[in-house]
Amino acid sequence: MCSKTRFSIRCLEWDRKLELWLFSLKVVRFMAGSWDGSYDQGGQSDDSYHFERLHIEPIYDAFICPLTKQVMRDPVTLENGQTFEREAIEKWFRDCRENGRRLVCPVTLRELRSTELNPSIALRNTIEEWNARNEAAQLDMARRSLTLVSPENDTIQALKFVQHLCLKNQSNKHMIRNAELIPMIVDVLKSSSRQVRSKALETLRFVVEDNSDNKEIIAEGDTVRTIVKLLNHDQSKEREEAVSLLYELSKSEKLSEKIGSVSGAVLILVGMASSNSENLSTVEKAEQTLENLAQSENNGETLVSDSGVEFLP
């Protein structure tokens, strides 16, 4: 073989190596930056998922998507046996097509004959079971922080974790009720910290939204009276959270009557609804709460006597 031919072959090998290197760089950049972050909780503040990041059981490598670097929710497998989060690998293929690149596996960089995605049901079930065990343990950690003697930051992080569970899945509200967390959150309303009280009010709203059973628990004891008292506090954020919670509770006829029966509740709400100093959201929630209270015949007399205005149901 002549030297010229050998040189040409080497050039082709170098070109191929350079092509692979550049493509590998694109893969790294894709993993680092182009993924939209829908599975990346790092977009939240450092403290937002304090409890969620505490895993009692280790995160197994098989649970992690090579593209998102997060635990998979809907794992799918390619023809070569590599497994990815469905949304992430679909995005990878879409980007390849849009940029005129060969359809290759992001891990092996080998071209694929098929982009068929096979659901990995066994792996998904295993991950779900792992998540359930960890969430139960994380919930227990949160329980220990929902006390008046816990450090303020620990209590706030526990409340944030409860909110996260409510947003993640409606069925988690049932779990929160069975874990008897609602009375514990109610007790936190007695905290001397304004920030803790505001976060507890907000968390209770998350817990009772679209959940009549959890509202029933709030109806017990003096919880409603305690929430009404917080309407008088100086901090606007605290008042806003208190009236937002009362509005959500007032959607229940039983709780609507209970709110109306608290001495001074209607008078405070009328004052907030007609205030020029409150923010618009607080004024609207006060008005909406009064409208819900007016739907109950038992509140009619109180509404007229306390507000001087007859509300028509």
What 243-247 contacts at long range (C-beta under 8 Å, 24+ apart), as own/partner pairs, is 243/269, 243/272, 243/282, 243/285, 243/286, 243/289, 244/201, 244/202, 244/205, 244/281, 244/285, 245/201, 245/202, 245/204, 245/205, 245/208, 246/285, 246/289, 247/285, 247/288, 247/289, 247/292
- The per-residue pLDDT for range 67-112, each reduced to its tens digit, is 999 999 999 999 999 999 999 999 999 999 999 999 999 999 999 9
Q: Which of 135, 164, 151 is nearest to 49 (CA)?
A: 164
Tokens 């029933």 correspond to 216
Q: Is residue 150 part of a domain?
A: no
* pLDDT tens digits, 167-221: 988 989 998 999 999 999 999 999 999 999 999 999 999 999 999 999 999 988 8
Whether the CB-CB separation of 294 and 312 falls below 8 Å is answered with yes
Confidence of residue 300 (pLDDT cuts 50, 70, 90): low
pLDDT digits (tens, 9 = 90+) for 46-70: 444 455 555 567 889 999 999 999 9
- CATH code of the domain in which 101 resides: 3.30.40.10
Whether 139 maps to a domain, the answer reads no
Which of 61, 95, 123 is the C-terminal boundary of a domain?
123
Tens of pLDDT, residues 223-257: 999 999 999 887 788 999 999 999 999 999 899 99
User: From CA 4, how far away is CA 2, in angstroms rounded?
Assistant: 5
Non-local (6+) Cβ contacts of 95 within 8 A are 30, 34, 101
Determine phi and psi for 207, rounding to 5 degrees. -70, -35
Number of domains in the chain: 2
Domain containing 227 — which CATH number? Answer: 1.25.10.10
**Residue 116's pLDDT band (cuts 50, 70, 90):** very high
Tell me whether residue 202 is in a domain: yes
Cα 202 versus chain centre, distance: 13
Element (H, E) at 118: strand 118-119
- Look at 151 and 310; give whichever has higher pLDDT: 151
Q: Tell me which residue range forms the domain holding 82.
A: 21-123
Higher pLDDT, 29 or 98: 98
**pLDDT for position 48:** 45
Which pTM does this prediction carry? 0.69
Residue 118 resides in a domain:
yes
pLDDT band at 295 (very low <50, low <70, confident <90, very high): confident
**What pLDDT does residue 297 have?**
66
Please say whether the dihedral angle defined by the alpha carbons of residues 303, 309, 310 and 313, taken in this order, is positive or negative. negative
The per-residue pLDDT for 94 is: 95
261 close to 221: Cβ distance less than 8 angstroms: no
pLDDT tens string 129-154: 998 888 888 888 888 899 999 999 99
In the block, residue with structure tokens 């779990």: 175
| Ramachandran angles phi, psi of 72, nearest 5° | -75, 150
Domain boundary among 123, 154, 188: 123
3-state SS of 5-28 is: HHHHHHHHHHHHHHHHHHHHHHHH
Measured distance CA(273)–CA(284) in Å, rounded: 7
Domain assignment of residue 147, yes or no: no
Residue 206 lies in a domain: yes
> What's the length of the chain?
313
Separation of alpha carbons 292 and 126, rounded Å: 45
What pLDDT is recorded for position 286?
A: 92
Q: Is 151 left (phi over 0), alpha (psi -120 to 50) or beta?
A: beta
- The reply to whether 75 and 200 lie within a common domain is no
